[in-house]
Chain A
Amino acid sequence: MEATKKYFTFSIYVAVVFIILIFGFRVEASDKENCLMCHKYRFIGRIDANGKKINYNVDEHMYSKSVHRNVSCRDCHTNIKKLPHDPVTEEVNCANQCHIKPPFAEENFSHKKIIDSYNQSVHGIKSEDAPELKKAKPDCKFCHLNPIYTRVDESRIAYEETLARCKNCHQKEGATQAYKHITHRLRHKTSRSPQEIVLLCSKCHQDAELMKTLNVKDAGLTAVETYKHSIHGKAVALGSQVAADCISCHASNALHDIYKKDHGSATVNKDNLKITCKQCHEKTNDRFVEIAVHSRIDRNEKPLLFFAGFGLKLALFATVFGLMSLLSLETHARKKNGMKWQIKRGSTWRGKSKR
């Protein structure tokens, strides 16, 4: 009897395990309208008139870990009114209000504020822009890739310990996600590393051909190159997390307010440089901000420095060549006079002189 009871309990356990394995835990994504009914299929898509393959699959697991996991599809894709929907012709507008209320807020959430600031910046599309310039200017999605949460480097922030303290009062799940959302922006101005920022900006600004077609002036054409030759660029290239990247100097904490340097609101404008440099160089002063950051020693612009550099190179070659010839001449003559290479107790003049 006892054995039968044990067997029965064991079978129940096994059954429960199998039921869990079969039905699984549903991944919690915000899909109230069941868009994933179709979009869950991995090869849903079409080939357009140019023969380009377009995939409409949405990976549920990826999306549920992204920044927008709580936003339902139609909050952004507003032009979809019926099911099955018509072909999508309009781009997503990030300035839309979505049906999410942030904690303690009166209004629904929207990126409108930052988009306004962005539209005024040099990257915003203006009515007077040439068509090729309009086309070349990056939209939101060019830089923002709806990234999956990445944890902050834990050597910098005591992640687990800090989170444990939050959990004293807050419920586990919400606290964890809020904390992740905040901490991956805690380090710097940007959640991207300086290396990623440089890569991102170089994507267009390093392309000299593209920049030329957009009427960019001299200093702008060589900006990436001169940055990489500066100590900021070199330190970042070698993995520094504290050296200045593009955004450190070219945008304020609003991050999207990048202007040309003759614009009054530009962080790199002559009048604002002191505030900008002060972020790292605490003892900045009027003369310090005159120092060239994107320094390029050019024959026409800085003739004195150009020829000084040329002279120094010449001196280097002359010195090295002169000293090495003296050394080889000396070695040849002393060897010929009967000296052996190895120093030994007694004498090193163990050979016969051939002079």
Chain B
Amino acid sequence: MTTVSEASAIKAGDTSIAEDDYFTYVEGVGNIPRDIYRHVESNPLGDLPRYSIHIIIQHFFVFTTFIVLAATGMALHFSDLFWAPYLISFFGGADTARLIHRIAAATMVFGGVYHLITIIGGPLLKIHKGEFDYRRTQIPRIQDVHDLVNDIKYFLGLRDYRPRMEKFMYKQKLHYLAILWGNTVLISAGSSLLFPEITARIYSEAVGFLPESLVKIFSETVANLWPLPAFFQDFARLMHVDEAIMALIVVAFWHLSNVHLVPGRFPLQWTFLTGRITREHQIEEHFLEYIRNLNEIPEEKEYMRKLLEEKGFANKVKVSVEDLPRPN
């Protein structure tokens, strides 16, 4: 274990050294070692705030409709496999299953609109109050790539500690972006499957609005390669199925394992119900967010100060949270 010294603390602007730093000094708390998560007490129901009530409701919208959509959609797509008729009869036959699929899709779109309202309105309110910090949002940064590389290095035993990460680490940003992309594709392709008459008209009429020179080029290249509405419909069929299968596999194997099955999360992480995260989890994977929590929640600050005194990490190093590494 490294000894506490001036040299080992974070220095502003010196990111290369800062990555490997063992201690982080927080004003009024002391030097927090990177592996303090080994020593903290945690409540499985969650110690620190993570999601607002809106996010929890939206997650309910998404995951309930997702299960229904996947079950009806996969059964319809893989109609020739042995399990499909059983699943379809559970939903009351092919025609009813198609109706249920559409109702669930509409509900999911409603959840998506609700999410867009909160995800745009919330930050606007924070900007107005002057509290907005883009590092605490899902906006991707270059730092996330460094975090991913360093985390893999840690997993392979090439680094001593996991990188200090923000409220949303690379995994969550990747997943969130995938959902944004997937939803866009599935909703646009799905609506062109549901209203083929309208999409066929829109896409051919849209060509009419283009300037004449563009239309000429367009009709000579793309339209000749494949006539427009027919091409678009075939493409929508392809994309809707492929995105759906990708989403199902990623959610069923990766997302579910990550949140409920891996060490320390089994058998159930309560965050999606309580909106709160355990202390050890926050420190391990969202260290920088934890330091912000220390400054925002006096009880947490007091708890950490006492713990550090107990473990003998109270020495002072002159660095504050404002000096934390920032992207260039």
Contact = CB atoms under 8 A, between A and B. Distances in A.
Interface of A: 228, 231, 233-243, 281, 283-285, 287-288, 290-292, 295, 297, 302, 304-305, 308-309, 312-313, 315-316, 319-320, 323-324, 326-327, 329-335, 338-349, 355
A339 B263 contact: yes
Contacts of A333: 154-157
A123 B94 CA distance: 32
A238 B250 contact: no
A324 B258 CA distance: 10
Contacts of A237: 79-80
Nearest to B245: A316
B284 to A, nearest CB: 8
A295 B39 CA distance: 62
A312 B38 contact: no
Given A238-B93, A288-B196, A338-B38, 19 more contacts: A233-B79, A234-B76, A235-B79, A235-B98, A238-B79, A238-B97, A243-B95, A281-B196, A305-B226, A305-B235, A312-B238, A323-B253, A324-B254, A327-B257, A333-B156, A341-B264, A344-B44, A348-B263, A348-B280
B204 A287 contact: yes
3 residue pairs, one from A and one from B, having the closest CB atoms: A238-B94, A240-B94, A333-B155
B234 A339 contact: no
Contacts of B98: 235, 240
Contacts of A292: 230, 233-234
Nearest to B91: A238
Contacts of B245: 316
Contacts of A330: 151, 155, 262
Interface in B84-99: 84-85, 88-89, 93-95, 97-98
A342 B254 CA distance: 18
B17 interface: no
B61 interface: no
B98 to A, nearest CB: 7
B57 interface: no
Interface string B66-93: 0000000001110110001100110001
Contacts of A281: 196-197
B171 to A, nearest CB: 8
A231 B193 contact: yes
B198 to A, nearest CB: 7
B231 to A, nearest CB: 7
Nearest to B249: A320
B84 A238 contact: yes
Given A235-B98, A238-B76, A349-B38, A291 B200 contact: yes
B36 to A, nearest CB: 10
Interface in B131-151: 151
B155 A332 contact: yes
B40 interface: yes
A320 B253 contact: yes
Interface centre among B156, B197, B230, B264 (most CB of A within 10 A): B264
A154 B212 CA distance: 59
Interface in B148-199: 151-152, 154-157, 193, 196-198
11 contacts: A235-B79, A238-B76, A240-B94, A284-B197, A295-B237, A312-B238, A323-B253, A329-B156, A339-B263, A344-B44, A348-B263
A241 B95 contact: yes
B169 to A, nearest CB: 11
B33 interface: no
A228 B39 CA distance: 61
Interface string B32-53: 0000011111111000000000
Interface stretch (B119-127, B265-273, B309-317): B265-273
Contacts of A338: 38
Contacts of B44: 343-345
A302 B40 contact: no
B217 interface: no
Contact of A238 (B37, B75, B235, B278): B75
Given A287-B229, A304-B231, A341-B266, A240 B253 contact: no
B234 A340 contact: no
Contact of B238 (A283, A284, A285, A309): A309
A347 B280 contact: yes
Given A283-B198, A344-B44, A329 B152 contact: yes
B242 interface: yes
Contacts of A344: 44
A305 B229 contact: no
A348 B79 contact: no
A355 B196 CA distance: 58
A242 B98 CA distance: 12
A235 B225 contact: no
Contact of A288 (B154, B155, B197, B267): B197
Interface centre among B37, B93, B227, B262 (most CB of A within 10 A): B262
B266 A343 contact: yes
B196 A291 contact: yes
Contact of A285 (B38, B84, B197, B246): B197
B253 A290 contact: no
B100 interface: no
Given A290-B230, A302-B226, A355-B157, A239 B200 contact: no
Contact of B254 (A316, A323, A341): A323
B242 A239 contact: no
Interface centre among A287, A302, A320 (most CB of B within 10 A): A287
